[in-house]
């Protein structure tokens, strides 16, 4: 990682002034500060391992504050009579060298490549196909007594003079960003914690990681005056949260999965924020599986099985007595008495003192009889057992399992993992507030197709190859 030298100056910690040198890579937000202590050998603990705030001023007059500094290394330069303490900083707040001003009213997080997802443009088509600025540039996605979160779009200037038209290339740029405004001033950590949840949900929607390209903060007490007009000053924040722009990302899925208007109509943002802690490990496994195209079939299978198991334990139950009660009084409550026993056997499986993976998969597959999941060439009543035994086989490589029971091979794993993804996505959509089962079914089928049909075509193709045709 290449860092550029930005100059030398001074910093103050615990009322002691130190000379320092700033190195930075603005593209990815990496900030390194080298602090000089004029004694060598000296005290290794002259400065702590972690420093919350470091106000700095370079010899050029540039002032800034580093936040969340972690010591990278300490060098004793005895021949120079000094020690050098090197710190990485998570945030650099431009233009402020006073920790009493590091509370903000509003922060904007600019995100790369989400215009299609947001379905909001900074421009609209006027009469005679004339491009004009869109008067609607923001949508409220969450509003509480503490904060307001908006999705906004900023756009470039439309040419307004003949001189501006005298160019070889004229382009219009626009960027989508998330605006978070608190009722009371907060430090940057509060904004980042909330944005992290929003960012994760967007990644879930577009089935890819997203990059933060710019962070801007506003303290309404810091402003510029233009006559009688007071405009809050934009405070640049350089952060390791930024990612270098990845132009190779495949954005095909962005127009296929979950768009912003759908999330707003289903109150998905508020629901996700409330459930974030419970959903995060599930969503992490899901996103990693979907966008990592180099992942092996076995690893994909493990990830989704674990995600389903985690979902069931966190959102359904992890208590055996509650599970028994759920089977009789919820799942089978509307099933005719003569049909209950096969399903009770399917759901309980080998669960006695604790709920087994097989029972969890069965419960999620049955889905209170609200939807029927395609299980390929495996009988529905056998599907949970095959999935559980396959997981056990690839975990322990117990060949005895294959001698007596069905285990998915490497050719079958991708297709049946997609079936498990189908099931997982159903529950993710339910947690995001989607209630219309027909809409959920259409969205999932559009993404994953029909597993039985895929398997049938594959079998026919294999038979043709084997027959020499």
Average pLDDT over residues 189-204: 95
Q: Which of 47, 80, 98 is the last residue of a domain?
A: 98
pLDDT tens, residue by residue, 286-299? 998 988 878 999 99
Please indicate, yes or no, whether residues 285 and 255 belong to a single structural domain of this protein.
no
- pLDDT score, position 434: 95
Q: Within this chain, do residues 407 and 452 fall inside the same structural domain, yes or no?
A: yes
**pLDDT score recorded for residue 464:** 66
247 pLDDT higher than 80? no
Query: Are residues 325 and 432 both part of a single domain?
Result: yes
SS3 252: helix
- Domain end (from 98, 132, 149): 98
Q: Which domain holds residue 25?
A: 4-98
pLDDT band for 458, please (50, 70, 90 cuts): low
pLDDT score at 163: 85
pLDDT surpassing 50 at residue 236: yes
Task: Quote the tokens at residue 233.
Answer: 């000053």
What pLDDT, on the 0 to 100 scale, is given for residue 294? 87
Q: Kindly state whether residues 321 and 394 are assigned to the same domain.
A: yes
pLDDT at 192 over 80: yes
> pLDDT band at residue 266, thresholds of 50, 70 and 90?
very high
How many residues belong to the chain? 469
Among the listed residues 218, 268, 241, the one whose alpha carbon sits nearest the alpha carbon of residue 117 = 268
- DSSP letters for 163-182: HHH-SS-----EEEEEEEEE
Complete DSSP assignment for 306-340? HHHHHHIIIII-S-HHHHHHHIIIIISTTS-HHHH
pLDDT at 402: 79
Please say which residue of 260, 276, 295 terminates a domain: 260
Task: Tell me, yes or no, whether 85 and 122 share the same domain.
Answer: no
pLDDT for res 11: 96
Query: Cα dihedral angle (117, 121, 126, 130), rounded to 10 degrees?
Result: -110
pLDDT for 454 beyond 90: no
- Note whether 124 and 70 are within 8 A (CB): no
Where residue 170 falls among pLDDT bands split at 50, 70, 90? confident
| pLDDT at residue 256, as a whole number | 57
- What local confidence, expressed as pLDDT, does residue 255 receive? 47
Range scoring the smallest mean pLDDT among 106-120, 191-205, 254-268, 336-350: 254-268
39 vs 94, higher pLDDT = 94
Contact 34, 21 (CB under 8 A): yes
Percent of the chain at pLDDT > 70 equals 94
- Domain count for the chain, please give it: 3
User: What's the pLDDT at 469?
Assistant: 54
Q: Is the per-residue pLDDT at 251 higher than 70?
A: no
Same domain? For 73 and 155 the reply is no
Q: Flag whether pLDDT at 121 surpasses 70.
A: yes
Could you give the CA distance from residue 60 to residue 95 in angstroms, rounded to a whole number? 12
**One domain for residues 182 and 274:** no
Q: Which residue has better confidence, 145 or 43?
A: 145
Q: Are residues 217 and 362 in the same domain?
A: no
Same domain, 188 and 326: no
| 328, 440: one domain | yes
From 19, 26, 91, select the one nearest 58 (Cα to Cα).
Answer: 19
Q: Compute the mean pLDDT over every residue in the chain, rounded to the nearest whole number.
A: 89
Q: Of 24, 75, 69, give the one whose Cα is nearest residue 49.
A: 69
Residue-wise pLDDT for 307-366, tens only, equals 999 999 999 999 999 999 999 999 999 999 989 999 999 999 889 999 999 999 999 999
Q: What is the mean pLDDT of residues 202-228?
A: 90
pLDDT at 244 over 70: no
Reduced to 3 states (helix: H, G, I; strand: E, B; else coil), residue 138 is strand
Task: Give the residue ranges of DSSP H helices in 207-292.
Answer: 260-265, 268-291
Taking only the tens place, the pLDDT of each residue in 366-416 is: 999 999 999 998 999 999 999 999 999 999 877 778 778 889 988 889 999
pLDDT in tens, 11-40: 999 999 999 999 999 888 999 999 998 887
Same domain? For 348 and 218 the reply is no
Q: Is the pLDDT of residue 207 over 90?
A: no
Question: Quick one: 93 and 111 in the same domain?
Answer: no
């Amino acid at each position: 990682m290449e860092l550029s030298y930005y100059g030398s100056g001074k910093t103050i910690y615990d009322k002691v002034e130190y000379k320092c040198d700033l190195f930075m890579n603005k593209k990815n937000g990496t900030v390194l500060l080298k602090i000089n202590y004029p004694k060598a050998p000296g005290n290794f603990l002259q400065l702590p391992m972690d420093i919350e705030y470091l106000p700095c001023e370079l010899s050029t007059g540039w002032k800034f504050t580093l936040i969340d500094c972690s010591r990278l290394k300490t060098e004793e330069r005895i021949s120079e009579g000094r020690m050098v303490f090197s710190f990485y900083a998570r945030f650099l707040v431009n233009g402020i060298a006073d920790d009493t001003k590091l509370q903000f009213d509003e922060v904007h997080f600019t995100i790369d490549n989400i215009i299609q997802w947001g379905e909001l443009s900074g421009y609209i088509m006027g009469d005679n196909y004339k491009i004009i600025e869109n008067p609607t540039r923001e949508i409220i996605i969450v509003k509480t007594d503490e904060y307001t979160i908006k999705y906004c779009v900023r756009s470039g200037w439309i040419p307004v003079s003949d001189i501006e038209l005298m160019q070889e290339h004229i382009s219009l740029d626009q960027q989508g960003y998330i605006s978070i405004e608190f009722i009371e001033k907060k430090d940057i950590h509060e904004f980042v914690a909330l944005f992290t949840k929003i960012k994760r949900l967007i990644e879930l929607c577009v089935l890819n990681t997203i990059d933060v390209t710019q962070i801007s903060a506003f303290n309404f007490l810091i402003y510029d005056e233009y006559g009688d007009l007071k405009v809050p000053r934009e405070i640049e924040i350089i952060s390791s949260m930024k990612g270098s722009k990845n132009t190779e990302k495949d954005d095909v899925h962005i127009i296929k999965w979950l768009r912003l208007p759908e999330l707003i109509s289903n109150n998905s943002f508020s629901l996700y924020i409330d459930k974030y802690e419970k959903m995060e490990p599930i969503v992490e496994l899901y996103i990693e599986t979907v966008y990592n195209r180099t992942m092996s079939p076995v690893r994909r299978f493990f990830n989704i099985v674990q995600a389903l198991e985690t979902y069931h334990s966190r959102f359904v139950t992890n208590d055996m007595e509650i599970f028994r009660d759920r089977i009789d009084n919820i799942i089978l409550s509307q099933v005719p008495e003569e049909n209950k026993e096969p399903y009770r056997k399917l759901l309980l499986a080998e669960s006695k003192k604790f709920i087994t993976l097989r029972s969890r998969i069965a419960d999620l597959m049955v889905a209170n009889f609200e939807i029927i999941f395609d299980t390929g060439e495996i009988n529905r009543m056998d599907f949970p057992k095959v999935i559980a035994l396959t997981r056990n086989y690839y975990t322990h490589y117990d060949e005895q399992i294959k001698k007596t029971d069905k285990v998915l091979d490497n050719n079958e794993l991708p297709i049946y993992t997609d079936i498990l993804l189908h099931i997982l996505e159903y529950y993710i959509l339910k947690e995001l507030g989607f209630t219309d089962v027909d809409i959920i079914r259409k969205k999932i089928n559009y993404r994953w197709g029909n597993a039985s049909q895929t398997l049938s075509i594959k079998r026919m193709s294999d038979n043709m190859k084997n027959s020499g045709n």
